[in-house]
Chains A and B, each alone.
Chain A
């Protein structure tokens, strides 16, 4: 019965997550962000970009078929839709579309050969640049090349599968709400790992079932809402902001005390951007308390000491009592 209730809760949670962001194609905006981003940011390429958004910013587009001499309304392929608000909220919002795409796209109808255009990857712009040196993009690239995802490059895997250049925004370094960051980052994984239409592009496997695969994990709902998939599925690298070495499933963290212990790995992953503070009000890994609570990782040194003192006192009183009883018995006999 408990398992059944858990599954229902987890399903509702996953549905909730899926309706959130997939960084690949859908939105992740709080109302405040929408207002802030769309009002405060005005791209200097706005007019240029609007030529693209006119068709690619919505589900339908219109053009004049000169051969037929009439106005045509057609559906935009979902993969080619870029929501303007999302783009202007993203990290690449200051770009012109033609910074990354060919200038030839300005002409409509687009030439067929443009579809074969070679796309940039992150390292093409971010690599070897002093401005980005502190993020160690070269090391991120090296980690990615060792990751299990890299093996699927032949099937079309690239940086963009996780970090859609039109919508992606850094969340973990900037977000004040860790829960939002967790939901955003997990949605990146779930975009393929719980969405078969995306998943099947990269694998021959016939089904995906994240809940079943994580059956062994107690309190699935809590874990999914409070930690990111990458906490268990990547190898920690202290040199880079977020580990990119996605490991094969058999190497994922499965030992509870990797997180549920004083030396919790969460301090080197999920909480590494927070304060370096290790203890707060006597709690080990006190920073975790800001957003959550992890049994075994959040033990309190004052309560530990107090309980030890009480325990020792009780044992001492019992020992003294026993000594007096023995003395009394010796006197009696």
Chain B
């Protein structure tokens, strides 16, 4: 089943590549010490690459949002059904118990339903909550002159940085889980190939 259009695949590839660069350089900036400078990317390089990858990521995010507004892909991110919570539980139970008992997937992939409820929730949180916060706080750190100086007596830069690092951390955790759940296809590699070829292989 052809499920991932070309623009989605290109967007996804760029997003993944930039996010990996951002994780490595972000950790380097936060944890580089004089003693361990050789184990991570040096601070100067890390700053340059982090800024570069961040700008590409923001442009890519704009493409994602615009694409979702202009194409059918946006419908996969809409929710609001009353049974959403019970569906979430069903999907969670499948991942934690059902799949080991040989039960069938409660929400098989179709052209109308690309994401299962758990996927949908995490993708919405990642792409429409964490990403905007990450981008806004990142802009605040890139241009500290425009960042609020103090907020209730606490430095605006600290709050911005904590928000940025926290969102970056949660999105990194999301990425780890995302990569792992992508091994849960018909074969451990089939979902990865699907994102390259555009075709989803039935389980």
Which A residues are within 8 Å of any B CB, using their own CB? 9, 218-219, 221-222, 255-258, 260-263, 289, 292-293, 295-296, 298-300, 303, 307, 310-311, 314-315, 318, 321, 324-325, 327-328, 332
Given A307-B169, A314-B176, A325-B100, are A261 and B32 neighbors across the interface (CB < 8 Å)?
yes
Q: How far is the CA of A321 from the CA of B98 in the complex (A)?
A: 12
Residue B109, interface by CB 8 Å: no
Q: How far is the CA of A328 from the CA of B100 in the complex (A)?
A: 6
Please determine whether B102 and A295 come into contact, CB atoms closer than 8 angstroms: no
Q: How far is the CA of A292 from the CA of B156 in the complex (A)?
A: 9
Choose one: B43, B162, B180; the contact of A256 (CB below 8 Å).
B43
Kindly list chain A residues whose C-beta atoms are within 8 Å of the C-beta of B141.
Answer: 295
Given A295-B29, A318-B176, are A303 and B165 neighbors across the interface (CB < 8 Å)?
yes
Sorted from nearest, which 4 A-B pairs have the closest CB atoms?
A256-B43, A293-B157, A261-B33, A257-B32
Kindly list chain A residues whose C-beta atoms are within 8 Å of the C-beta of B145.
Answer: 9, 221-222
Given A314-B177, A318-B180, are A295 and B161 neighbors across the interface (CB < 8 Å)?
yes
Q: How far is the CA of A254 from the CA of B69 in the complex (A)?
A: 46
Choose one: A257, A307, A311, A314; the contact of B37 (CB below 8 Å).
A257
Residue B127, interface by CB 8 Å: no
Please determine whether A328 and B158 come into contact, CB atoms closer than 8 angstroms: no
Q: What are 13 sample pairs from A and B whose C-beta atoms fall under 8 A apart? A: A219-B144, A255-B44, A256-B43, A258-B34, A263-B34, A293-B157, A293-B158, A295-B161, A298-B158, A310-B169, A318-B176, A318-B177, A321-B180
Kindly list chain A residues whose C-beta atoms are within 8 Å of the C-beta of B155.
Answer: 289, 292-293
Given A295-B161, A314-B177, A318-B180, are A260 and B31 neighbors across the interface (CB < 8 Å)?
no
Please determine whether A261 and B173 come into contact, CB atoms closer than 8 angstroms: no
Residue B30, interface by CB 8 Å: yes
Q: How close is B158's CB to chain A, nearest CB, in angstroms?
A: 5
User: How many chain-B residues does the 8 Å CB contact rule pick out?
Assistant: 31
Question: In the complex, which residue of chain B has the Cβ closest to the Cβ of A254?
Answer: B44
Kindly list chain B residues whose C-beta atoms are within 8 Å of the C-beta of A321.
Answer: 95, 180
Q: How far is the CA of A321 from the CA of B141 in the complex (A)?
A: 38
Please determine whether A293 and B161 come into contact, CB atoms closer than 8 angstroms: yes
Residue B47, interface by CB 8 Å: yes
Please determine whether A260 and B32 come into contact, CB atoms closer than 8 angstroms: yes
Please determine whether A296 and B162 come into contact, CB atoms closer than 8 angstroms: no
Please determine whether A328 and B47 come into contact, CB atoms closer than 8 angstroms: no
8 Å CB contacts to A: which residues of B11-59? 29-34, 37, 42-44, 47-48
Q: How close is B91's CB to chain A, nearest CB, in angstroms?
A: 14
Please determine whether A296 and B47 come into contact, CB atoms closer than 8 angstroms: no
Q: How close is A296's CB to chain B, nearest CB, in angstroms?
A: 6
Q: How close is B194's CB to chain A, nearest CB, in angstroms?
A: 19
Kindly list chain B residues whose C-beta atoms are within 8 Å of the C-beta of A258.
Answer: 34
Q: How close is A140's CB to chain B, nearest CB, in angstroms?
A: 27
Given A221-B145, A263-B33, are A310 and B47 neighbors across the interface (CB < 8 Å)?
no
Q: Beyond the given A257-B33, A298-B158, could you list 13 further A-B residue pairs with CB under 8 A, ordered by the A residue number?
A: A218-B44, A256-B47, A257-B34, A257-B42, A260-B32, A289-B155, A293-B155, A293-B157, A303-B166, A314-B176, A325-B100, A327-B100, A328-B100
Kindly list chain B residues whose C-beta atoms are within 8 Å of the C-beta of A328.
Answer: 99-100, 102
Choose one: B43, B158, B180; the contact of A289 (CB below 8 Å).
B158
